Amino acid sequence: MSYTKPENWSPGEEITLEPAAELAVKSELNNLILAGPGAGKTELLAQRACFLLQTNLCPYPQKILAISFKKDAAENLKNRVELRSGKELAARFESRTFDSFSKQLLDRFRLGLPDAYRPAKHYNILTSNREIREIVTGYIIERHPNQPNWMHEINFNVLFRRLSDDELPIFEDGEDIYTWVLTRLWNVMIQGGNGLPSSLTFPMISKLADYLLKQNPLIKKALQVTYSHVFLDEFQDTTHLQYELVKTIFLESSVILTSVGDDKQRIMGWAGALSDSFEQFKHDFNASQIELTHNHRSAPRLIEIQNVMAKIINENATYATVSRQHSDLEGVCEVWNFQTHLDEAVFVASSIAKRIQQENVTPRDICILVKQYEHIYARNVIEELGKQGVQARIEKEYQDLLAEECTQLIIDFFKLATIERTHDSWVRVSEVLSFVQGFDPDHDHLEILKMESELNEHIIQIRSKLDRVVNDEDRCKQEIENIIKGIYSFIGVEKFFRLYPKYARGTFFNQLIDDSVEKLTTAYMKYLNWSDAISDFIGLFSIPIMTIHKSKGLEYDTVIFLGLEDDAFWSFQTQRAADMCAFFVALSRAKKQCFFTFSASREILRFGDVQVRPQFNQNLSSLYQILQDANVTVRHISEVNL
């Protein structure tokens, strides 16, 4: 492998970095990079990885570790580094989510934990407080000597918080009922018993990984030697547990850290995100601050409004500058006022249909956002779009599923069996097969040729089976299930699990397969055509509908936010800063157009029931004033307009 001298390295002919970005890419110091919407932070991290790998400043065989919050963000960054630097160098770039990283540590070094905190090799992962509550009420049957009715006296929300927050090991405090419960809860969840398998939450996994490293400094040292550089993406969303793990491993080491974030997009406070993560990082790691100012995403008019919002959120915010790709007059932002949510649905659906039919815009170029309860706020819009021949779907049912490697592999096999010109799918499937078989691409040429011949035969078999699928939902579902089982039998399930250990535990893998079968069946029964069914499954035919939180990191030509109303932002008076950041995130997803709707009456969820209620914007008056100050047009849309 020949390397480039650092002074001769450049990002490539098609990419130009602003001066601050180039400084960040080439820096050999700990840095906090402030990157607003559209600043190109993913590209910046990809270019930094390429610089370090191509110049050997990340010296072989050391690696770069990149930690993101979302699976798709981690995968996107990984793919971009591979595209820019090639497979050989990208093999030393490890892109993970925080949950994946901490779980990998626990799974690899589990035996380094004391018996009391060592989970079983195959533990279950719990994702809801309801499951924890059921364990507390069903498995902790001991009576407290002073508080025999403790189960009816404790605040379960406090218990859930302390399960994540309290340092390990936990010792009973005779004065505190919660430590008494927690010692028993940790024990029953770690050890299992009486039909309960060893079970953990992701915060518990992070805490156990941190405790493990504090108990075993040699493992910590090994990690410091493994990684020369660490990237921390979306750093404004970092929780206390995640940051503690980063500090435990990398503080006072020679590893160079680069964190990237935007305090104007700090919307995960409800999930435990630190309120001062930037300040802590700069202090703890003696980090310099670099600020990117270009916005490559949004049109000038939208950037102008974003700049007004940014100054309200943070008076020290730097004004974003416009990319050269836009003309000065580009960009539309409006508020649409309606009398009823039914009027809103008709107008929004008609506007979307007109854009798709007349302006060569695809459904995936448009996104509908809501603050909460997508199935309620967007229900009538979905119905009206259907009448106009336009599909829309609630994206959370698909986002996580489509980000999984096992689902992507299914899609690739189905594409190869049904769609022409699927070179990328062939490459991905061949690579997985080579990895699981342990082939060396540079030496095992005959073995790889034989493997690819067998792959081609298997794809022909799949094509034959897909061609025989009939117009019967139950038989279709069974056939798809058999084909997918055949795919993983062909690959070798155990070998695949060794490549992706996360699928080997619990029911996670089987649940993903079941979800894929269900959704592929629905898509095929809709079109009776495999090419369209696959495109529908991956979302090419549908307008995505999601909450603001799910839209983080995404971008669209047009964004329509439904319900800029007090009931949607019910906590605005008590958490104004977080809701302003949420509004900023919604606004900044748009490239060219952004519309906010208000309806004087709307279906909302109230006391567990869906009711039509009058809506107001009194609590949001300061937000409306900001839009007015930014000269955002307010349109009152009457029945005549409809």
Q: Which residues pair with 634 in a beta bridge?
A: 335
Listed in sequence order, the DSSP H helices in 58-155 are 71-85, 87-90, 98-109, 129-139, 150-153
- The two tokens of residue 586 are 């919604």
CB 216 within 8 A of CB 105: no
Give the Å distances, CA to CA, from 427 to 408, 463, 493: 13, 18, 20
Its sign, for the CA torsion 311, 316, 593, 539, is negative
Percentage helix, strand, coil for the chain under 3-state DSSP, each rounded to 5: 55, 15, 30
Numbered residues of the known binding site for ATP: 35-42
**C-alpha to C-alpha distance for 217 and 357, rounded to whole angstroms:** 62
CB 271 within 8 A of CB 18: no
CB 374 within 8 A of CB 604: no
Q: How many CB atoms lie within 10 A of CB 608?
A: 5
**C-alpha to C-alpha distance for 516 and 500, rounded to whole angstroms:** 18
Phi, psi angle pair for 608, to nearest 5°: 85, -5
Numbered residues of the known binding site: 35-42
Question: Angle formed by the axes of helices 445-467 and 473-491, to 10°?
Answer: 170
On the CB side of 122, how many CA atoms lie within 13 Å of its CA? 9
Q: Which three-class secondary structure string do you get for 521-576?
A: HHHHHHHCCHHHHHHHHCCCCEEEEEEHHHHCCCCEEEEEECCCCCCCCCCCCCCH
Phi, psi angle pair for 20, to nearest 5°: -65, -40
**C-alpha to C-alpha distance for 562 and 440, rounded to whole angstroms:** 52
| Nearest CA-CA partner of 291 in 320, 256, 266, 255 | 320
Q: Which three-class secondary structure string do you get for 35-83?
A: ECCCCCHHHHHHHHHHHHHHCCCCCCCCEEEEEECCHHHHHHHHHHHHH
**C-alpha to C-alpha distance for 71 and 100, rounded to whole angstroms:** 9
User: Any long-range contacts for 526-533 (C-beta under 8 Å, 24+ apart)?
Assistant: 528/471, 530/414, 530/417, 530/418, 530/419, 530/466, 531/418, 531/419
**C-alpha to C-alpha distance for 338 and 29, rounded to whole angstroms:** 53
CB 231 within 8 A of CB 65: yes
CB 512 within 8 A of CB 401: yes
Residue in this structure with the two tokens 């430590």, named with its chain if needed: 179
